Amino acid sequence: MAKVNVSELSISKLNAGLKSREFSVRDIAEAYLENIEAKNKELNAYLEVYSDVLDQADKLDKRLADGEEPNLLFGVPIAIKDNILIKGRTASSASKMLENYVATYDATVIEKLKDENALFLGRTNMDEFAMGSSTENSAFGVTKNPHDITRVPGGSSGGSATVVSADLALVALGSDTGGSIRQPASYCGVVGLKPTYGAVSRSGLMAMASSLDQIGPVAKNIEDTKILFEAIVGVDEMDSTSVPFEPSEKKEKMKIGIPSKWIESGLNDEVKKNFEEKVEKLKEDGYKIVEIDLPLAKYALSCYYIIMPAESSTNLSRYDGVRYGLHHDGEGLIGDYVATKNEGYGTEVKRRIILGTYVLSAGYRDAFYRKAVAIKSMIISEFNKVFKEVDIVMTPTTPTTAFRIGEKADDPLSMYLEDIFTVPANIAGIPAISIPTGFSSDGLPFGAQLMGPRFSENNLMSVGDSIFENINK
């Protein structure tokens, strides 16, 4: 067995090693399984490590032995968020409601990754049904930040960010409805990309808020993020919101807009200092930095916390204890519904279902939901206007570094504010990426967010390279 240093591994290095026979896929798999065995009990990042990982590896090695040339993702160890379906495997969305649910088909992104010969390590912890910003809302325990286990990894894709940061997977998939890839990526010091809405198929992703959800990659560096994104992007007839990906024109020295009025309040002092340093670095690299105004951005969070619960309450009505998932007997059919949902859902999920049902109810739909949809259209128009002046909008990813476990558990409004910079990209349907940009004085990662017009992912990653700092342990 060749010893593999997974902390120095990238997709291209893994591919080169397989081609040169420096190591085998089994060597890679055993190295990651060894790390998982050593760290996952403390971090609680994986809900399940697949029992057939070594069998998968051996089958791939057999193909190499038979002379097959490995493609880029051949044997790449990947972790999958627990709300993305893999046929024949459990997918619980970190909820008691679906604790024993076994997927009957592959999500489109999984089909694509199987076609690319990826190695599936396991399913990662998350906030229940993707509702949360800390991965404290999982029915199966809190995930801990690998940089400080007293702190949250962010959410809802906290497990996916943690496994990449802690070298328990080379790359991972998450889902992002209001920042659920980017915020944990920032807290854990990795790269997280929310693609353009519709660019990546949502078929096989458990729906939370269908007009906002998007699957995206988590990785240690920009290059790996790009490779994984290109593997999963593309139009899909199984998703009615899917659109052909038409990458925007690549630009060399782009104009970057800083919405200072919007981001100046509520920023942690160290976050602000780090952000300003990265803006200066971009200036030194030849980018033109201009001040912009996004007056409607401050309404995005309020808009989001009406639209998202409304759509979530509708989507989660399917978990009725009749067709699949958890079932508890009550008095009559309605009693069954009540008993099942009361037992199956956690506190945050119940809170959002109640809120969503309220804003959709007679007498309140016009006052809340339809106004939020109108504001969403105005925010889209505002970004379209701004992107005629600048190529990219840059903000901190989050107003603070990772907070302590339990610190915001009894204050949902404070928790929701962690999404203040990430939510607008989902509301507008535009791509956004979080880039690691260094450490705070107490050893916690910083992240900067870049947003661009639809299909500008390549330009976001290009600028991200200029400010990227590899800060993983």
Q: Could you tell me which of 123, 90, 124, 85 has the C-alpha nearest to residue 106?
A: 85
Query: Is residue 48 a part of any domain in this protein?
Result: yes
Task: Reply yes or no on whether the pLDDT at 181 is more than 50.
Answer: yes
Question: Which residues constitute the domain of residue 67?
Answer: 6-232
Q: What is the pLDDT of residues 282-295, one digit of tens each?
A: 999 999 999 999 99
Query: Is residue 208 a part of any domain in this protein?
Result: yes
Query: Is residue 443 a part of any domain in this protein?
Result: no
Tokens of residue 18, six digits: 């397989």
pLDDT of residue 254: 95
Query: Is residue 366 a part of any domain in this protein?
Result: no
Average pLDDT for residues 150-156, to the nearest whole number? 98
Task: Reply yes or no on whether the pLDDT at 472 is more than 80.
Answer: no
Q: Could you tell me which of 178, 170, 221, 173 has the C-alpha nearest to residue 200?
A: 173
Query: Is residue 179 a part of any domain in this protein?
Result: yes
Query: Is residue 97 a part of any domain in this protein?
Result: yes
Q: Could you tell me which of 110, 90, 102, 15 has the C-alpha nearest to residue 46?
A: 90
d(CA 470, CA 373): 39
Q: Mark whether 81 is an active-site residue.
A: yes
Average pLDDT for residues 164-186, to the nearest whole number? 98
Query: Annotated catalytic residue: which of 92, 133, 180, 248?
Result: 180
Average pLDDT, the chain: 95
| Lateral strand order in the sheet of 77-81 | 46-49, 119-124, 77-81, 171-175, 215-219, 191-194, 432-439, 445-451, 392-396, 255-258, 288-291
Domain count for the chain:
1
Residue 325's pLDDT band, with cuts at 50, 70 and 90, is confident
Which residue did the predictor score with more confidence, 19 or 339?
19
Query: Annotated catalytic residue: which of 93, 156, 157, 312?
Result: 156
Query: Is residue 285 a part of any domain in this protein?
Result: no
Query: Is residue 93 a part of any domain in this protein?
Result: yes
> Who contacts 297 (Cβ-Cβ below 8 Å, separation ≥6)?
259, 262, 379, 382, 424
Average pLDDT for residues 402-426, to the nearest whole number? 92
pLDDT of residue 473: 41
pLDDT of residue 471: 55
Give the domain CATH number at 26. 3.90.1300.10
Q: Mark whether 180 is an active-site residue.
A: yes
Q: Mark whether 203 is an active-site residue.
A: no
Query: Annotated catalytic residue: which of 24, 39, 81, 440?
Result: 81
Q: What percent of the chain has pLDDT over 70?
A: 99
pLDDT of residue 207: 96
pLDDT of residue 261: 93
Beta strands in 190-268 (DSSP E): 191-194, 215-219, 255-258
Q: What is the pLDDT of residues 394-410, one digit of tens each?
A: 999 999 999 999 999 88
> Who contacts 196 (Cβ-Cβ below 8 Å, separation ≥6)?
214, 243, 245, 429, 430, 431, 454, 455, 456, 457
Q: What is the pLDDT of residues 105-149, one digit of tens each?
A: 999 999 999 999 999 999 999 999 999 999 999 999 999 999 999
